[in-house]
Structure 1
Amino acid sequence: MVAKRGTRSKKKRESAPKQRNLNEKNAKRYLRQLGNGNFSEGDWFISLSYQDKFQPETMEQAEKEVGNYIRRLKARYKKLGQELKYILVNEGGSKIVRFNHHLVINSLDEGLTRDDVEALWSKKPKGQKRERIGTVNAKYIQTNENGLEGIMTYMSKDPKGRKRWSSSRNLKRPVSRPNDHKYGPRTLEKIAQTPDQGRDYFEKKYPEYQISEIEAKYYEETGWHIYLKMWRRVGRMNQ
């Protein structure tokens, strides 16, 4: 929000970064927003790796392997009358970083256990018995400093190898809407200079939203700007 006159801009859906590469700040921010708006305590964070015999040679091979895993998950969810939601990050491919995958997926109240989710990271080579592709660890997301926010920050960290991310199409996408006309320069300055940058003020003003990010910046040309990232408590985000 900026102190200036004019008509209120229409809200618009934020575009996903075209390059699925988490090096840029906006891609990291988008990924965190996507996670915060669709997942919560009790959902699953899954890490997958490969034993030597199944280690992919290229990112494309790794994406195909984890894509097969996701298809198996989708089939299991569909059988239980549910729909899989996920965010996937693929990483590796350098001399020092082996291919690995990280997912956040929605959990189910019944019918699917953590052991089931882990067991699906397996394959049956022709003429051989089914075996685990590599190490797999699924854990429930908890509400603490290492909860969802910590997981999304970890998933968006700068890679040591290549990194690509994708998500299911059924996720709620972040939207933004400038809210320029409501606040004068003096009001914004007063809010911005509070110890919490106005968090308490905006939480009371917008009780139907959960504020995930707030940032106050001062520019010589235009004065104070306050940027809010807020999720409507039923799942939709506005600004």
Structure 2
Amino acid sequence: MRAGRVVRQALYSPRDPTVNTRRRAISISAEDKKQANLKTSYEKLLMLACANFLPGDWWVTLTYDDTFLPESREESRKYWRKSMRWYRKYRKDNKDALRYVYCTQLTTSRGGRRLHHHMILRYEDDMDQEKLESLWQWGHVHMRKLKDWDEILDKVHYMCREPRELGVYVPGEQMWTASRGLVRPQITYTTFDSDAIDISVPSGCTALSDPVQLPGYGGYKTIIYIENM
């Protein structure tokens, strides 16, 4: 899978038919499954972000005033959807597409529980900030431009931090959401006859994610790296 200079490789091998299915399922702990799902979600977001965003695009944080502070993630999503409907119309009227990825996170700072949103937003013009501030009526908007690729990668990692670091994990719940119309990473497949094939970070590239391997699924290993300039 390729997104610009970023490449994700995954190596799959068939399940061993001689291994009992129930025994194989038991050998994979719930924690192993959770960590594999979290890592896969992070890698998918990383590839999507690298295919669609560049240095100079926006890093946005949307917060809530006490008066409008939502009590649940579902309530916060209603505010989000309403503001994005308005913002999408503004972009459409100006013949610009609205492209973003966002997440909702919970902070327990200042002795309370406060939901807020983070977003990577495609830059169109310097009016983005003024317009978004006027449409987000429930709190404050903090925006700044992403200065380089390292910062894009850092923000993607940050958007996936909540379930990884704080243990806030609901099976089946998405860590992040993407807007419509994003470019999808290019995917190619190759079949090998030999079990001796392995994958590793090529020379001249930098690893962005430690290799993950989950033998219980038959054989599954992924790596992700960026090709150096």
Return the TM-score normalized by structure 2.
Answer: 0.64
Distance 2:62 2:69 in 1: 12
Match among 172, 175, 182 for residue 183 of structure 2: 172
**Partner amino acid for 1:139?**
R
What residue is the counterpart of 2:148 in the other structure? 143
In the TM superposition, what is the alpha-carbon distance from 1:56 to its structure 2 partner?
0.9
Q: Deviations over 1:163-197 (max 9, x none)?
A: 74211120122353333559996xx78x95xxxx4
Larger mean CA deviation between 155-164 and 77-86 belongs to 155-164
Q: Does 1:68 align with 2:68?
A: no
Q: Deviations over 1:77-124 (max 9, x none)?
A: 0111111001110122878531111111111146x24222223211xx
Identity %: 22
Is the CA contact (8 Å cut-off) linking 1:44 and 1:140 kept in structure 2? Answer: yes
Q: Does 1:40 align with 2:45?
A: no
Larger helix percent: 2
Match among 116, 122, 132 for residue 117 of structure 1: 132
What residue is the counterpart of 2:32 in the other structure? none
Distance 1:23 1:155 in 2: 15
Match among 10, 30, 38 for residue 24 of structure 1: 38
**Partner amino acid for 2:68?**
F
**Partner amino acid for 1:179?**
T
Distance 2:208 2:134 in 1: 37
Is the CA contact (8 Å cut-off) linking 2:41 and 2:175 kept in structure 1? Answer: no
Return the TM-score normalized by structure 1.
Answer: 0.61
Distance 1:169 1:113, change over 3 A: closer
Matches within 5 A, 1:177-192: 177-181=188-192, 192=200
Is the CA contact (8 Å cut-off) linking 1:88 and 1:166 kept in structure 2? Answer: yes
Q: Deviations over 1:116-139 (max 9, x none)?
A: 2223211xxxxxxxxxx2122011
Is the CA contact (8 Å cut-off) linking 1:58 and 1:93 kept in structure 2? Answer: no
Structure 1: which 5+ residue stretches go unaligned? 5-21, 123-132, 204-210, 220-224, 232-239
Is the CA contact (8 Å cut-off) linking 1:32 and 1:156 kept in structure 2? Answer: no
Distance 1:106 1:29, change over 3 A: same
What residue is the counterpart of 1:153 in the other structure? 157
Larger Rg: 1
Distance 1:218 1:53 in 2: 47
Instruction: Give the 4+ runs in structure 1 shifted more than 3 A.
Output: 93-97, 159-164, 178-185, 211-219, 225-231
Distance 2:179 2:149 in 1: 26
**Partner amino acid for 1:80?**
N
**Partner amino acid for 2:123?**
S
Secondary structure of 1:89's match? strand
Q: Deviations over 1:184-236 (max 9, x none)?
A: 96xx78x95xxxx4232xx7xxxxxxx885777899xxxxx8845679xxxxx
Match among 124, 143, 150 for residue 108 of structure 1: 124
| Equivalent pairs, count | 184
**Partner amino acid for 1:169?**
R
Secondary structure of 1:63's match? helix
